[in-house]
A = this chain, B = another copy of it.
């Protein structure tokens, strides 16, 4: 049973609509990462992270593989990276237009 494109699109965006999932995708955009490292960067319960990773996996946005005792995740659709960049631009432009509502703390692990 085929799904209308606009509905598939809505579901896709809904998948992106969660802070933890966004951060996971941005971290993975910089390169494959073990769960351990994602967990450290995001500072979240292991179970919650697994939950969100499962959502991303089911949506087909990430894939996992095992390597020497830990689990490595990677982006399966590189185009997602461009999408995130586009969103960043839109939001920053918009925020400027309204007076700087948005603070760039996108990567707390990178700038502690």
A residues near B (Cβ < 8 Å) are 2-19, 21-23, 26, 60, 77, 79-80, 82-84, 86-95, 97-98, 100-106, 108
Closest to A42 in B: B6
| Chain B residues whose C-beta falls within 8 Å of the C-beta of A104 in the assembled complex | 5
Are A87 and B91 in contact (CB-based, < 8 A)?
no
A80 to chain B, nearest CB (A): 7
- Looking at chain A's contact residues, the main secondary structure is helix
Q: A60-B98, A79-B90, A94-B60 are in contact. Are A16 and B19 (CB under 8 A)?
A: no
B21 touches A95 (CB 8 A): no
Do A106 and B17 touch (CB < 8 A)?
Answer: no
Q: What residues on B are CB-neighbors of A13 within 8 Å?
A: 13-14, 16-17, 22, 87
Known: A22-B6, A60-B98. A86 touches B88 (CB 8 A): no
Closest chain-B Cβ to A104's Cβ sits at a distance in Å of 5
Given that A13-B14, A14-B14, A77-B94 are contacting pairs, would A88 and B23 also be in contact in the complex, using a CB cutoff of 8 Å?
Answer: no
